[in-house]
Amino acid sequence: MKTFLMGAATLALLAGGAHAESHLADTADKRIALSNNYAGNSWRQAMLQTWEETATQAVADGVVAAADAFTTSENQATEQAAQIQNMILQGYDAIVVNAASPSALNGAVKEACDAGVTVVSFDGIVTEPCAWRIAVDFAAMGKEEVDYLATRLPDGGKLLEIRGLAGVFVDDEISKGIHAGVDEHKQFEIVGSVHGDWAQDVAQKAVAGVLPSLPDVVGVVTQGGDGYGAAQAFEAAGRPTPLIVLGNRQDELKWWAEQRDANGYETMSLSIAPGVASLAFWVAQQILAGEEVPKDLTVPFLKITQDGLDAALESTPEGSVANVSYALDDAQSVIAAAK
């Protein structure tokens, strides 16, 4: 496994499972496609890059015949459903999906399954029973943000929530976890909620638009790709910088380090690693090879603490996201652990 960062949430579950026998020779004539619904932020770009690196090497090594990536022009479930239907017609043996909706693609996914196509969803997962799902516990990730704020701000206060893309499973789950955390830590109150679309520029505009109507804010709970934008909005408004939970983007980490060095600013950062795309590729390959794979697989989210900030920043390319890439043996370990 190529590791850019193994923060506090290490991939410990990968270490426990016994590796299954390799099935590389079985899939040399198989073709896998990636159906991706959105590419408009650094996380998605890193995800696509990881897929490309994994797929290119796998094709060069003769593991599969092809592993092509396709991204829809708009984050629309209808467009992605049509894309999946086209992949079926093109004869792909497996389709790996980062879905625009957990349920709106189910018809197209069922069509694929009925045509004998293996469907593996990840990050934005689907609920169609015939498909496989790979995800972190996004609700737990959201709740951990509030748990962390409770340790840093025991007296509580007002919070601003920055959400992701409206209508997407990941956004709903992280928000659900954040609200569960606030229900548990009643010293906090969410006084504003905006959609930042997991993009710094969108988040900055959204936060700037709502700040004039908000009371003093002690903390900002986020979903990734929005923390630096939020910080810029607070600075532009002349308001004190609250404790902002970050999402592993390089620009956020750089800002965090600058603030730490200037005034001792302390926070944490967490997100799903974009490299989960490589895990999804290998899971699809193993299913095609005849491996028995549970329908639901879970991987930990990637967390960066104050102590790990410098190492994380050093290993994260400018404009990208802290990442970890999975190899075949990692996928076999995840599968074994799920069994």
pTM of the model: 0.82
Query: Does 196 share its domain with 294?
Result: no
In a domain, 183, yes or no: yes
Query: Does 266 share its domain with 278?
Result: no
Query: Does 228 share its domain with 293?
Result: no
Gap between the Cα atoms of 206 and 187, Å rounded: 25
In a domain, 245, yes or no: yes
Gap between the Cα atoms of 104 and 335, Å rounded: 27
Query: Does 106 share its domain with 156?
Result: no
In a domain, 305, yes or no: no
Query: Does 28 share its domain with 51?
Result: yes
CB atoms under 10 Å from CB of 140, counted, come to 17
Gap between the Cα atoms of 190 and 179, Å rounded: 8
Report H helices in the chain.
Answer: 13-16, 42-60, 77-89, 106-114, 138-152, 169-184, 200-210, 227-236, 250-263, 276-288, 309-315, 328-338
**Which of 115, 104, 144 is CA-nearest to residue 301?**
144
Rounded to a whole number of angstroms, the distance between the first and last alpha carbons of the chain is: 21
In this prediction, residue 45 carries a pLDDT of: 94
Instruction: Tell me which amino acid residue 22 is.
Output: S
What residues contact 245, with CB distance under 8 A and at least 6 apart?
145, 148, 149, 219, 220, 221, 222, 227, 267, 268, 269, 270
In this prediction, residue 15 carries a pLDDT of: 39
CA distances from residue 177 to 14, 43, 97 in whole angstroms, order as listed:
25, 21, 24
In a domain, 52, yes or no: yes
Based on its alpha-carbon atoms, the radius of gyration of the chain, rounded to whole angstroms, reads 20
Gap between the Cα atoms of 142 and 87, Å rounded: 34
In this prediction, residue 74 carries a pLDDT of: 82
CB atoms under 10 Å from CB of 139, counted, come to 18
Both tokens of residue 67?
């592993």
Query: Does 106 share its domain with 221?
Result: no
**Which of 190, 128, 189, 138 is CA-nearest to residue 164?**
138
In this prediction, residue 135 carries a pLDDT of: 87
Gap between the Cα atoms of 262 and 235, Å rounded: 15
Query: Does 265 share its domain with 287?
Result: no
Report the number of distinct structural domains present in the chain. 2
Query: Does 259 share its domain with 280?
Result: no
In a domain, 255, yes or no: yes
In a domain, 316, yes or no: no
Query: Does 124 share its domain with 227?
Result: no
In a domain, 264, yes or no: yes
Gap between the Cα atoms of 132 and 283, Å rounded: 9
| Residue span of the structural domain in which 186 resides | 138-271
Query: Does 294 share its domain with 175?
Result: no
Query: Does 49 share its domain with 99?
Result: yes
324 bridge partner residues: 3
**Which of 210, 199, 35 is CA-nearest to residue 117?**
35
Could you list the pLDDT tens digit for every one of the 339 residues in the chain?
A: 433 343 333 443 343 333 444 444 489 999 999 999 989 889 999 999 999 999 999 999 999 999 999 999 888 999 999 999 999 999 999 999 999 999 999 999 999 999 999 999 999 999 999 999 998 899 999 999 999 999 999 999 999 999 998 988 889 999 999 999 999 999 999 999 999 999 999 999 999 999 999 999 999 999 998 999 999 999 999 999 999 999 999 999 999 999 999 999 999 999 999 999 999 999 999 999 999 999 999 988 899 999 999 999 999 999 999 999 999 999 999 999 998
Query: Does 242 share its domain with 280?
Result: no
In a domain, 309, yes or no: no
CATH label of the domain that carries residue 199: 3.40.50.2300
